[in-house]
Structure 1
Amino acid sequence: MMIDDPSVSLTTIESALRRLDREALLESLQGGLVADAVKATLDSIGLRSTPELEAMYGWRNGTAADSPASLDDIQLFPGFHLLSLEDAVTNYRAFVTDERWTPGWLPIFANGGGDFYVVDSSPTGAGAVRHFWIDEVQHPIEFLSLRAMLATLAAGFERGIFYVDPSGYLEMDDLVFGGLASELNPGVAYWRALT
């Protein structure tokens, strides 16, 4: 399966968010960063940058910390918002000594309750994306790369799996998304176990 360029996936996601009238989120997203700024910031915590991280943070540097919007309104996909690179580093420093955390896990998406999607930059992580649940012991790989995650999210928007419910919340059909993720990420055991 061919995974889209991260920039293509991010453009698709942004277009879908506009169609869904996610204006509070779009207004809260900060301008992007140049690749050298991403590299320098990650280097400050001993992590290596990747083209995927540079593309994502070049697109937008997460949501503004002073945004008046609620957590529900700034979700980039159901349940999670994009951390600014500064917030990612702050969360990394806060969790790096936690016994549930592995040094090298860079949190990029957060739910506001302590759960994250992390890019695994540890020596054995190979850039995979793990789901860190604060109350769980296991933190499975859900995507083999950030590129694969963004492509899956873009497809979720394109196929209407992500939608705004009558109360204005960004939602998804979990079973249908699991099927999509399994289809687009056939090498990931987490999704095979769900289907």
Structure 2
Amino acid sequence: MGTIRENINYIISAQKDLGYHMPSIINPPATEKEIRIVEEKIGLKFNAALIELFGTVNGIQLDGKTPSGLTGIIPIYDLLSLNDAIDYYNEMNWDDHKDIYEIEYELGHQLFPFIHDGAGNCYWVDLNEGTDNYGKLYCTNTFGDRPDYLFNSLDFFFEAIKRGYERGIFSLDEEGYLNCQYKGWGVICHELDKSIAYWGKYVS
């Protein structure tokens, strides 16, 4: 399995080969100082994987006009910059979230977002140190599925995306929008980590 930096660089290269728009709006990597300022501002300690992510690419530059089909690293999901992630983080009320979805499993308040679709669907890195979910990726969504942990780490997440580009799971339609063969994507995610029950439905 490649590193997060290696996988992101592969993904960007694959998107360029497709003629996709996203690589043209990528922000430069965040500096160690910028990451440290964010940690201090919100009172969270990033794990090594999250530092590697933002140290590779600090999200994308959105203009509010470009369709989301042209900007996602996977369809409609945009990489958040540190500044945008802070705003998203500050808007989230985890107590309300747990009440609305009747969450009974352990879910702390220290999670940091890194990718979203602008409509409530977002992946968060669990930074609740000392818990079983530390480092896992929690998905909040509005697609009908209950929110849950869908990846055991950022490493697995970006490895799955890289494999998706390798296998042609991701492609462009006639308008240049990013498409995904979702069954194939689910199969890849299941292959990488069979401990996540959610992905099993794609191979049953």
Partner residue of 1:190 out of 195, 198, 202: 198
Q: CA deviation at 1:39?
A: 2.8
Structure 1: which 5+ residue stretches go unaligned? none
The residue number in structure 1 matching 2:103 is: none
Aligned mates of 2:128, 2:144 — CA distance in 1: 20
Indicate the residue corresponding to 1:55 in structure 2: 52
| Corresponding residue of 2:101 | none
Please name the residue that 1:9 is paired with.
7
Letter in 2 for 1:20: L
Which residue of structure 1 aligns with residue 110 of structure 2? 104
Name the residue aligned to 2:30.
33
Misfit runs of 4+, over 4 Å: 134-137
In the alignment, is residue 174 of structure 1 matched against residue 182 of structure 2? yes
* Cα RMSD, aligned residues only: 1.9
TM-score, normalization: structure 2?
0.86
Structure 1 residue 29, shift from structure 2 partner: 1.1
* Corresponding residue for residue 19 of structure 1: 17
Q: CA deviation at 1:97?
A: 4.9
Comparing 80-89 with 104-113, greater Cα deviation is found at 104-113
Q: Structure 2 unaligned runs (5+)?
A: 99-107
| Within-5 A mapping of 1:61-76 | 61-66=58-63, 68-76=65-73
1: distance between equivalents of 2:182 and 2:119?
Answer: 20
Q: 1:84 is matched with which residue?
A: 81
Provide the C-alpha distance between the structure 1 equivalents of 2:17 and 2:161, rounded to a whole number of angstroms.
15
Structure 1 Cα separation of the partners of residues 96 and 39 of structure 2 = 22
Q: Provide the C-alpha distance between the structure 2 equivalents of 1:67 and 1:59, rounded to a whole number of angstroms.
A: 24
| Partner secondary structure for residue 159 of structure 2 | helix
Query: Which residue of the partner structure matches residue 135 of structure 2?
Result: 127
TM-score, length basis structure 1: 0.89
Matched, 1:164 2:166: no
Work out the CA distance in 2 between the residues paired with 1:137 and 1:187. 18
Post-superposition CA distance 1:155-188 (Å, at most 9, x none): 1111110111223210111111111110012221
Answer whether contact 1:35 1:58 (CA < 8 A) is retained.
Answer: yes
Q: Secondary structure at the match of 1:109?
A: strand
* Alignment partners' CA distance in 1, 2:189 and 2:201: 12
Aligned length: 192
Evaluate the alpha carbon distance shift between residue 135 and residue 100 of structure 1 in structure 2; reply closer, same or farther with a 3 A threshold: farther
Mapped to 2, the partners of 1:159 and 1:35 lie a distance apart of 34
Please name the residue that 1:154 is paired with: 162
User: Aligned pair in 2 of structure 1 residues 139, 122: CA closer, same or farther (>3 Å)?
Assistant: farther
2:42 matches 1:45: yes
